[in-house]
Structure 1
Amino acid sequence: MDFSDTVREHEALIYKLRRDLHRIPEPAYTEKKTSAYIADYLRKEGFEVTEGIAKTGVVALLPLSGPGKTLLIRSDIDALPIKEETGLPFASQHPGAMHACGHDAHMAMVLGAATILKKIGKELKGNIKFVFQPAEEGPGGAKPMIEEGVMDDPHVDYAIGCHLWPAIPEGTVGVRAGRLMAAMDRFDIRIIGKGGHGAMPHLCVDALEIGTQVVGAIQRIVSRQMNPQVPTVVTVGSFHAGTTFNIIPGTAEMSGTTRTFDKGVWKSWPERMERIIRGVCEAMGAGYELKYSQGYPPLVNDDWMSDIVRQCAAEMIGEEKVVEPEPTMGGEDMAFFLEKAKGCFYFLGVGREGGAPLHNSKFDFNEQVMLTGVELYCRIAFRLLGS
């Protein structure tokens, strides 16, 4: 089958879908216009649609010509709280919100693939679930969707998804088996001391000074307790204590993030951090509060599924344009789907000279990249579900 010609016939539609969705960006769990647009479009195309999964998630089911496996194709749908500065004629109509991470393209590609596969998938067996997931940018919508049954009825055997990626050249596809993206957690710490006069530290418990000890101690978890061959990061990104020059603060507050590719390390972080903070504070006579929020697990691609994606991409664009990207410390809750089914999450290259990065107010891309994404979804579906 000539997938390329079929996708080209839908080029204008794919661009329209992206531009329509780009105009109505909505941050996590507020994606009401977005999910309504998706659901309305899919119903008009004749799909069985379920709305309201994990608040604003949408699922469309495509039963094929006979019993077989079920493939899940996923897109995230949320936007970022960024004021758009692209100058595009279809720029955000929602002040302070923007699709600055390519989720508008992700949605358009999955909708485009759904449209095409419904027309040409008569020889396929099984089912395809098209999943439109809220809140990828946090706090995460994949896990709630799974808890509400998105992997069941019918049971999902395979899961795929992709992300626009400026770190690899435009026109390439990045596929990596195994660990691709890191686990991503957040922590918030409050040190409780005793404030007082800056001239009388002996009468105080200096929360600011104790807080700096805590920062140094948790940073040393990585350098002195972790295997140096397992990439791990801890970053304190916010520290607040005190109000003026001559008052010793009674409290200090800090927040940060941990990242790792190792699931064992990921699971150990709350206990390690609690132990370190408790030790420092007890030694200095202070109290503390720790809120440790475990976010997304490491994203690990199945070897066999990665080979399928790599082969389909090579058939389409040539082996020389299929690259192996470096693992990234960025997090992605597609990881939860890949814990439940064989799957692969891959990158579509949009890198070009002078291009803005993800999460930037001027982020944009060459829309023709979406045609590659749609065709690759179709090829993978035919490879996995074809008779």
Structure 2
Amino acid sequence: MSVIVTGGDGYLGWPTALRIATRTDDRVVLVDNFARREWVEEVGSVSATPIADIDDRLAAAVEVHGLDNLSFVEADLTDRAEVDKLLQIHEPGTIIHTAAQPSAPYSQINGERANYTQHNNLQATRNLLFGLHENDMTETHFVETTTTGVYGAPEFPIPEGGATMENDGERDEVPFPAMAGSWYHLTKSHDAANMRLAHQQFDIPISDVRTAIVYGTETEETRADDRLNTRFDFDYYFGTVTHRFCAQAVAGYPVTVYGKGEQRKPFVSLEDAVEGLAQLALTDPDERPDDHVVYNQVTRAISIVEIANTISEVGEAYDLDVAVEHFENPRDEDETHKMEIENDRYADLIGGQSQTFEEAVDDILDTLIQYDDRVKAHEDRFLPGVLEE
């Protein structure tokens, strides 16, 4: 048996594969088509942390951690024939599916990129699910990182999974309604529905890991050698809010808060996200639920203005004079929304939060200062504008 990690060249997939490989003698197969590198180049940006090519990454994993159980397959998961070949050769006991076009802003640029995002993400997931079914591998544990963005921003606490619906005095548990706010987020809503159907029809054990906004530059495994860096995007299209704010601080820019910035969003550190996926990958098949399980991969909700103020405060230790400025919000959102989201199941999986937000910000700033030349050379990518025509 092996573990397949799709998106194995990516921000989350690469450190997850390293974590899994350190804890098992089973083969860990990374799968990617390097599209993320191309998308970021397309919008005129780079990863702040230099990323080695995959051969150098694997060589470093052997040299530094002794991980001779890692291998790599270049494949396009939207090609069904390639997926069948992948499954038939490697016969995975678990698939950790992190491969996707992950950017809401990129998916919103125009119709071409919306179509690309939906085709790429949905086709890959369907191919994997039907590949398991039609190759008689329905005992394989299928784990996908969807997103907490499928929930939208309801005014009530978000459950970890389904919802209770009541009509004419009758109550029942139903899937949480798709309330996504972008063409990207809607792909994950559809993936969630397709995984539920695949479980019902094919009996595939499914873990739908609804990933919050991930922040951080390193994990225990990647910090051992620069060749093991995971990527760190900071541009408007692929840089998440914490990463973009930290890059602005290092470049000497004011941190740009849209509107009041009092709205809270769900977050999880890279370390805690990787740990949860590793736990799911390594659970003994006899002990894991033979079921469809939803995890809210989140450790806490944080307001946008709190993120900015924390970066400003932590930045003082690095002699960074970080100004926090408020700009007109280009997004249609409630700037005071106080999100509440349940996460007991995920907290139990990882044993609680391993790193505070302040500690993670300190890590990020320490890393970015080492590569501030790369950030400053692409500081024009902090704000939207490229590819809008």
- Give the TM-score range, shorter chain: under 0.3
Taking CA–CA contacts closer than 8 Å with sequence separation of 6 or more, which of the two structures ends up with the larger relative contact order?
A: 1
Bigger Rg, structure 1 or 2: 1
